[in-house]
C-alpha cells in the first residue's frame, strides 16, 4: 500500500518537531520535506550530519518516514525572469541583486541534492522556473526560435544539477505547473525531448494544476507512465459562471468570485478514483503526498480530513481477476 504523506511547504511556520507531531496526530505516515521556513535547512543538512541525525530523530519520534524533499523555491529561481515577487525566496541580503539570487538558487539546489543523499531520499520534487513563461500567450508575436531557446536555456542551467543528482542516484520530479517551463502535457513532452529523455527527469504529478487548465489529469499518467516519480494529492474546483475566467481575474485565492480555486482533497472536481486506478495500472508504489491548500477551511481540520480521504481512495488492485471464481476446470 502506498504511504500517505504530507508536504510541509504550507506548514513551514511550525517548528520541525511540532510539524512531525501535528502530522502524526492527523494520521500521516511520513513527510515530503520543505527546505524553507522552520523545516529543513538544506545547506546545513548537506554539511552537518549531526543536524541530519536530529531531523531523523524527530521523524522517528513520531513514527514518520520521508521519501521526498522539495526544491520548489530555489528551483524556481534557477531559470526564472525575476521581479519583486521573487525576493522572498532567497535570503534577504540577496533580494535586490539578481545575479546573487540566481547563484544562491543554484547553490541551494545543489545543497538540497546533498541533503537528500544524507537523508537517504531518492526523489527531489520541485520547480525549474522558466525564462519564457511571459511568452505563454503569443502576443506580442512569439517566434518558435524564442521558445526553443527558452527550453535550451533550461537544459543548460539544469544539466549540472542533474549530473549531481545522478552521482547520488536521485531523480528530479518536476511539478508540471503554470509558471514552469513545462506546464501541461505537450510542454512537458517538449522538455523531455530537450533533455533527450534523460531518466533523471520525471514529474511530480499534481492534478490540481492540470484540471483548471482543462486537462483530464489521469490521462497524463497513462500517457507518460515511466515519468511518474512522485504524486501530490491536491484538489481544485472550476466554477466558471460567465463573468470570471480560468486566468483568475487578479482575484486572490479563496475568493468565491474566482473561476477556480484550490480545494481540500475530495472537496473539488479532481477524480482521484481514476488517478489511483491509473497509478495501480503503472505499478506506482511511491507516496501519495497531500499538498493541502484551501483558503476556505481550517488547516488542521482540512489536513486531517485530507489524510483520511487519501487513505480511503488509496485502493490496491486485486491480485487475480474478479471473475476467476466463475472458471471451471
pTM beyond 0.95: the answer is yes
The DSSP element (H or E) to which 90 belongs, if any, is none
Q: Which pLDDT score is estimated for 95?
A: 82
* Domains present along the chain, CATH in parentheses: 4-326 (3.20.20.150)
| Contact yes or no for 245/259 (Cβ under 8 A) | yes
- Nearest CA among 165, 185, 88, 153 for reference residue 125: 165
Rg (CA), the chain: 20
311 grid coordinates: 487513505
Q: Which pLDDT score is estimated for 322?
A: 66
Q: Which pLDDT score is estimated for 321?
A: 72
Residues of the chain under the 50 pLDDT cut: none
- The string of pLDDT tens digits covering residues 147-171 is 999 999 999 999 999 999 999 999 9
Cell 486537462 locates to 215
Q: Which pLDDT score is estimated for 329?
A: 64
Amino acid at each position: 500500500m502506498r504511504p500517505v504523506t504530507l508536504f510541509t511547504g504550507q506548514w513551514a511556520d511550525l517548528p520541525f518537531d511540532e510539524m512531525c507531531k501535528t502530522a502524526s496526530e492527523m494520521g500521516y505516515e511520513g513527510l515530503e520535506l520543505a527546505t524553507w521556513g522552520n523545516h529543513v535547512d538544506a545547506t546545513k543538512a548537506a554539511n552537518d550530519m549531526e543536524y541530519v541525525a536530529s531531523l531523523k530523530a524527530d521523524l522517528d519520534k513520531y513514527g514518520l518516514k520521508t521519501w521526498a524533499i522539495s526544491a520548489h523555491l530555489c528551483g524556481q529561481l534557477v531559470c526564472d525572469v525575476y521581479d519583486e515577487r521573487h525576493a522572498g525566496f532567497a535570503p534577504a541580503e540577496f533580494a535586490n541583486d539578481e545575479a546573487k539570487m540566481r547563484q544562491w538558487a543554484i547553490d541551494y539546489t545543489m545543497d538540497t541534492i546533498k541533503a537528500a543523499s544524507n537523508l537517504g531520499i531518492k526523489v527531489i520534487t520541485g520547480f525549474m522556473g522558466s525564462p519564457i513563461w511571459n511568452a505563454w500567450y503569443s502576443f506580442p508575436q512569439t517566434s518558435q526560435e524564442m521558445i526553443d531557446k527558452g527550453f535550451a536555456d533550461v537544459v543548460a542551467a539544469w544539466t549540472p544539477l542533474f549530473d549531481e543528482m545522478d552521482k547520488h542516484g536521485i531523480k528530479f520530479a518536476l511539478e508540471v505547473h503554470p509558471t514552469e517551463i513545462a506546464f501541461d502535457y505537450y510542454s512537458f513532452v517538449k522538455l523531455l525531448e530537450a533533455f533527450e529523455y534523460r531518466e533523471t527527469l520525471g514529474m511530480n504529478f499534481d492534478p490540481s494544476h492540470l484540471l483548471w487548465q482543462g486537462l483530464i489529469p489521469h490521462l497524463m499518467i497513462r500517457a507518460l507512465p515511466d515519468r511518474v516519480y512522485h504524486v501530490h494529492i491536491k484538489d481544485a474546483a472550476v466554477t466558471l459562471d460567465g463573468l470570471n475566467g480560468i486566468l483568475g481575474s487578479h482575484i486572490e485565492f479563496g475568493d468565491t468570485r474566482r473561476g477556480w480555486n484550490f480545494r481540500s482533497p475530495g472537496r473539488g472536481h479532481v477524480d482521484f478514483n481514476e488517478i489511483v486506478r491509473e497509478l495501480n495500472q503503472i505499478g506506482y508504489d511511491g507516496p501519495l503526498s497531500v499538498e493541502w491548500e484551501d483558503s476556505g477551511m481550517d488547516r488542521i481540520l482540512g489536513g486531517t480530513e485530507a489524510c483520511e480521504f487519501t487513505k480511503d481512495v488509496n485502493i490496491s488492485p486485486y491480485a487475480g481477476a474478479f471473475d476467476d471464481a466463475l472458471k471451471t476446470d
